[in-house]
A and B are shown apart, each in its own frame.
Chain A
Amino acid sequence: MTKRILTLALAVLMTAVLFIGGGQSALAAENGSTGDADLTVGIAADLDSSLDPHVSSSSAGTREVLFNIYEGLLKPDTEGNLVPAVAEDYTVNDTADEYTFTLREGVRFHDGSEVTVGDVVYSLTRAAGLDTGEPLMATLANVAAVEAADDHTVVVTLSAPDVEFPAYMTAAIIPEGSDPADGIIGTGPFKYVSRSPQENIVVERFDDYWGEKAKCAKVTFKVIEDGQTMVMSLRSGAIDLAAHLEASQVAELSDLTVLEGSMNLVQALYLNNARAPFDSQLVRMALCYAIDKQAVIDLAGDGHGFPVGSSMYPAFGKYFDEELTDYYQPDTDKALELLAQEGYDRAHPLEFTIIVPSNYTPHVDAAQVIVNLLDQLGGVVKAQIQQVEWAAWYSDVYQGRDFEATVCGMDASTLTGSAMLGRFVSDNAKNFIGFSDAGYDEAYKAAMELGGLDENLVDLFGTCQQILTQQAANVYIQDLADFVVMQPNVEGYRFYPLYVMDLAGVSKTA
Chain B
Amino acid sequence: MRYVLKKTGVLVVTLLLISLLAFLAFQIVPGDPTTKLLGNDYTPERAAALRHAMGLDRNVLVRYWDWLTGFVTGDMGDSYSYGMSVEKVMEGKGAVTAGLSLMAWLLVIAISIPLGITLARWQGGRLDRVFVAMNQVFMAIPPFFLGMLFTYVFGLVLKLFVPGGFVSWRESFWGFLGYLIFPALAIAIPKAAMVTKLLRSNILNEMDRDYVRTAYSRGNSRWGVIRGHVLRNAILPVVTFVAMTLADIVAGSIIVEQVFALPGLGRLLIASIGNRDYPVVQCIVVIIAFIVVFMNYLADVITQTIDPRIRLG
- Which residues on A are within 8 Å of B, measured CB to CB? 22-23, 46, 48-50, 55-59, 134, 136-138, 181, 196-200, 222-226, 228-229, 232-233, 235-239, 389-392, 394-396, 399, 413, 429-430
Contacts and interface: CB of A to CB of B under 8 A. Distances in A.
B39 A429 contact: no
Interface string B247-281: 00000000000111101000110110011100000
A15 to B, nearest CB: 13
B83 A50 contact: yes
B94 to A, nearest CB: 13
B171 interface: yes
Given A226-B258, A396-B30, A399-B35, A199 B40 contact: no
Contacts of B259: 226, 229
A22 to B, nearest CB: 6
A236 B155 contact: yes
A235 B83 CA distance: 34
B31 interface: yes
B162 A22 contact: yes
B175 interface: yes
Contact of A58 (B38, B82, B167, B270): B38
18 contacts: A49-B36, A49-B79, A57-B40, A181-B83, A197-B81, A198-B268, A198-B271, A199-B92, A224-B164, A224-B261, A229-B261, A233-B163, A233-B164, A235-B163, A390-B274, A394-B31, A429-B43, A430-B40
Given A23-B171, A196-B92, A391-B36, A225 B258 contact: yes
Given A391-B30, A394-B35, 7 more contacts: A48-B36, A49-B275, A138-B40, A196-B92, A198-B267, A199-B263, A429-B43
Contact of B31 (A236, A392, A429): A392
A46 B81 CA distance: 10
Interface string B83-120: 11000010111000000000000000000000000000
A266 to B, nearest CB: 16
Contact of A55 (B41, B82, B89, B92): B41
Contacts of B92: 196, 199
A55 B93 CA distance: 28
Contacts of A226: 258-259, 261
Contact of A238 (B175, B261, B268, B275): B261
Contacts of B151: 232, 236
A54 to B, nearest CB: 10
A389 B36 CA distance: 12
A56 B83 CA distance: 13
Given A389-B274, A391-B31, A236 B81 contact: no
Given A22-B165, A197-B82, A236-B162, A391 B261 contact: no
B32 A395 contact: yes
Contact of A237 (B42, B162, B172, B270): B162
A12 B35 CA distance: 55
A254 B80 CA distance: 41
B37 interface: yes
In the complex, which of the residues B35, B89, B258 has the most CB atoms of chain A within 10 Å of its own CB atom? B35
A389 B162 contact: no
Nearest to B29: A392
Interface in B159-204: 162-165, 167, 171-172, 175
A49 B82 contact: yes
A200 B168 CA distance: 12
A238 B175 CA distance: 15
A225 B260 CA distance: 12
B164 A236 contact: yes
B276 A391 contact: yes
A455 B181 CA distance: 65
Given A49-B83, A225-B267, A239-B164, A233 B275 contact: no
Contacts of A181: 83
B100 to A, nearest CB: 15
B48 interface: no
B79 to A, nearest CB: 7
A49 B258 contact: no
Nearest to B262: A199
B137 interface: no
A400 B37 CA distance: 16
Nearest to B161: A236
B156 interface: yes
A390 B93 CA distance: 24
Query: When A and B form their complex, which 5 residue pairs have the shortest distance between CB atoms, in order from nearest?
Result: A58-B39, A233-B164, A238-B164, A391-B31, A199-B263
A61 to B, nearest CB: 11
Contact of B164 (A196, A229, A413): A229
A395 B35 contact: yes
A236 B156 contact: yes
Contacts of B46: 134
B104 to A, nearest CB: 19
Given A238-B162, A238-B163, A49 B156 contact: no
Contacts of B171: 23
B224 to A, nearest CB: 48
Interface in B62-86: 79-84
Nearest to B258: A226
Contacts of A413: 40
A57 B41 contact: yes
Contacts of A197: 79, 81-82, 84, 89, 268, 271
Contacts of A222: 261
B162 A49 contact: no
Contacts of A136: 41
A379 B251 CA distance: 44
Contacts of B258: 225-226, 229
A45 to B, nearest CB: 9
Contact of A236 (B30, B163, B172, B275): B163
Contacts of A238: 162-165, 261
A125 to B, nearest CB: 17
Nearest to B152: A232
B30 A392 contact: yes
Interface in B18-39: 30-32, 35-39
Nearest to B84: A197
Nearest to B49: A134
Given A226-B258, A396-B30, A199 B164 contact: no
Contacts of B35: 391, 394-395, 399
Contacts of B41: 55, 57-58, 136-138
B158 to A, nearest CB: 12
Contacts of A391: 30-31, 35-36, 274-276
A223 B93 CA distance: 14
